[in-house]
């Protein structure tokens, strides 16, 4: 009788362990986060690489969140081409003109950033590259390669939308040439400067 009860208890325990294990596995599968919609768009084989590159690299620092979202909803190359044309025309300082000084200057800055600020990553991905692409060359710079860590200070006398006497600090904590802006509370940033990066 004791043997029978022991066997029944053993079987019940095994059944309970199996059910518990199944529930845990199911819960783990249910709680797996869904793919980020941005990642899905970047992996979409129906979208040509040239359009993905345009959004995630060429205009990464100057496109608005709304423009990014709208571009990702387009379903044909014709729509995307029209969007790109409209994007640059909207920023053309001389609307309707064949030459677009803003676009030309933007790509010049992008090339300069990639040539001068690359350090393990493309120059446009660095903080100095970001500021150069968005605001152009600083009015003055101060370099301290002998400091620990090495640092640079960029000064702008005026940035439209931000104000006068804007200063950006960069430090090379890894001593690998990749200068970055030290993390600081948002209220200490110049107005209009965000710490967060846009989604590609």
- Three-class SS state of 77: helix
Q: Is residue 92 included in any domain, yes or no?
A: yes
Please indicate whether residue 142 or residue 146 has the higher confidence score (pLDDT): 142
Task: Tell me what pLDDT residue 198 has.
Answer: 56
Query: Which alpha helices (DSSP H) does 117-160 contain, by range?
Result: 127-135
Model confidence band, residue 184 (pLDDT cutoffs 50, 70, 90)? low
d(CA 95, CA 85): 12
174 vs 107: which has the higher pLDDT: 107
Question: Domain range holding 114?
Answer: 37-188
Instruction: Say if 31 falls within a structural domain.
Output: no
Task: Give the count of domains, the chain.
Answer: 1
SS3 for 111?
Answer: helix
82 lies in some domain: yes
pLDDT of 105 higher than 80: yes
Q: What is the pLDDT of residue 196?
A: 47
Q: Is 62 a residue whose pLDDT tops 50?
A: yes
Q: Which helix (H) or strand (E) holds 105?
A: helix 101-116
Asked if pLDDT for residue 51 goes beyond 70, the answer is yes
Q: Is residue 199 part of a domain?
A: no
Q: Which of 190, 200, 101, 89 is nearest to 138 (CA)?
A: 190
Residue 9 lies in a domain: no
Domain assignment present for residue 13? The answer is no
Q: Which of 133, 106, 103 is nearest to 117 (CA)?
A: 133
Counting residues of the chain whose pLDDT is more than 90, the rounded percentage is 57
Q: What is the pLDDT of residue 199?
A: 53
Is residue 155 one of the residues assigned to a domain? Answer: yes
Q: What is the mean pLDDT of the chain?
A: 79
């Amino acid at each position: 009788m004791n043997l029978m009860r022991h066997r029944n208890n053993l079987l019940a325990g095994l059944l309970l362990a199996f059910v518990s294990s199944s529930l845990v596995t199911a819960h783990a599968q249910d709680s797996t986060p869904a793919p980020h919609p941005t990642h899905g768009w970047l992996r979409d084989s129906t979208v040509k690489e040239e359009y993905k590159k345009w959004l995630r690299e060429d205009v990464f620092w100057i496109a608005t969140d709304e423009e990014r979202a709208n571009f990702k909803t387009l379903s044909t190359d014709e729509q995307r081409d029209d969007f790109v044309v409209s994007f640059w025309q909207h920023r053309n300082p001389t609307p309707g003109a064949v030459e677009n000084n803003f676009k030309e200057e933007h790509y010049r800055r992008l090339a300069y950033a990639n040539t001068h600020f690359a350090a393990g990553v493309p120059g446009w991905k660095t903080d100095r590259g970001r500021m150069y692409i968005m605001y152009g060359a600083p009015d003055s710079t101060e370099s301290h390669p002998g400091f620990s860590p090495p640092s640079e200070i960029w000064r702008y006398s005026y940035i439209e939308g931000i104000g006068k006497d804007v200063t950006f600090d960069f430090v090379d904590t890894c001593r690998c040439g990749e200068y970055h802006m030290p993390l600081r509370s948002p209220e200490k940033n110049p107005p209009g400067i965000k710490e967060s990066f846009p989604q590609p």
